[in-house]
A = this chain, B = another copy of it.
Amino acid sequence: MAIPGRPASRSGDRFRVHYRIRGPEAEALATARDICLEQTVEIPASLVPPGDVADQIVGRIEGFESTSSGHFRATISYASECAGAEITQLLNVIFGNYSLKPGVQVEGLDLPEPVLQTSVGPRFGQSGLRALLGVTDRPLLATALKPLGLSTTALADLAYRLALGGIDVIKDDHGLANQPFAPFPERVERCVEAVARANRQTGGQSIYVPNVTAPGDLTLQRARFAARAGAGGLLVSPGLAGLGALTQLAADEQIARPILSHPAFLGSFVTCPENGIAPGVLFGQIVRLAGADATIYPNYGGRFSFRPDDCRAIVVGATAPLGMLKPIFPMPGGGMSLDRVAEMLDFYGSEVILLIGGALQAAGPDLVATARRLRQMVDERFG
């Protein structure tokens, strides 16, 4: 459908958001026009001052088409300067107020270079993380220290045995914060030491990745502490700490560690297909733009309800060309069993971090042997 009265767009100075809007058509088009106002000037069209505000600031419908039964895709562009070179305001323009209105989903982003520069992007990306871990081409293996409630000593012992078994990335469970049973500073120091001890025995380069998610600038402080203590990476839940916290950690020269993004408290964006943000956009493009080097999300067929298509879309968002931003690792998890490793390798290929948590503990008391068995399955396939 042609949109009358649309001024020509100057190339490169606007970014585009694709919205999936519930119909019928006339209503969906009215919604698209409302998005143009609501996400920018927040006043009725009749009150928009002529000149730059009307011509540049108000969102602009660049395309509007029927997609599937009862839905329409509106492509709306915004002036890059509206985002003010900050990811918080970029997200606000994309979906701030409209998150409150049912029937609209963000299903795609086209971000030109000026907007991509709202973030330094992933510092390591796939290649940097591989170099750090000394793993050239096989899939990477990750696990989580759990359950919540274990003492620091017990967690450090788990970390030691998992590293001894050849797991590359040993991360805190995302529920480990700064609780009395395993306070953050001592947990970090002890687990760093435990993994280093295992590395000395194996000659490996496993890393311990503590969870630094915390209120306000405590996230930054914990990340700097962890970096000084020798942690090999950092785990952050941007749904709790804010996506801007991720950006700041990625840019911080004192930290300079790979960052794993955890999806906790972000799920409501993706549980209702009529609303929210499509999984590939949120857990792929946005998390990558924010600076994560790997994006954790629930694999299809596990404890959660993601479908294979959702997972494929996340892989695309995490890895497809996106300006100068490095491709990052998809890191599927959430109830993966050892029986499913072969299938996951078929599905994801080598550019993946398999996150296998409870299943390693479920396979029997000899955790080192179980970890070695998992590592062997991967080595044989990609050796």
**A residues near B, CB below 8 A?**
34, 38-44, 46-49, 52-53, 56-57, 81-89, 91-93, 95-102, 144, 146-150, 173-175, 177-181, 213-220, 237, 239-245, 247-249, 263-272, 274-277, 298, 303-306, 334, 357-358, 361-362
B358 and A52: CB pair below 8 A?
no
| Most B-side CB within 10 Å, residue of A216, A265, A298 | A216
Which of chain B's residues have a CB closer than 8 A to the CB of A306?
100
B265 and A96: CB pair below 8 A?
yes
A87 and B215: CB pair below 8 A?
yes
A86 and B42: CB pair below 8 A?
no
Least Cβ distance of A270 to chain B in Å? 7
Contact with A215, one of B46, B248, B275, B361 (Cβ below 8 angstroms)? B248
Which of chain B's residues have a CB closer than 8 A to the CB of A38?
303
Which of chain B's residues have a CB closer than 8 A to the CB of A43?
146-147, 357-358, 361-362
B271 and A275: CB pair below 8 A?
yes
Given A41-B149, A175-B89, A240-B242, the answer on whether A362 and B47 have CB atoms closer than 8 Å is: yes
Which of chain B's residues have a CB closer than 8 A to the CB of A220?
216-217
Contact with A240, one of B243, B269, B276 (Cβ below 8 angstroms)? B243
Given A248-B216, A272-B272, the answer on whether A298 and B100 have CB atoms closer than 8 Å is: yes
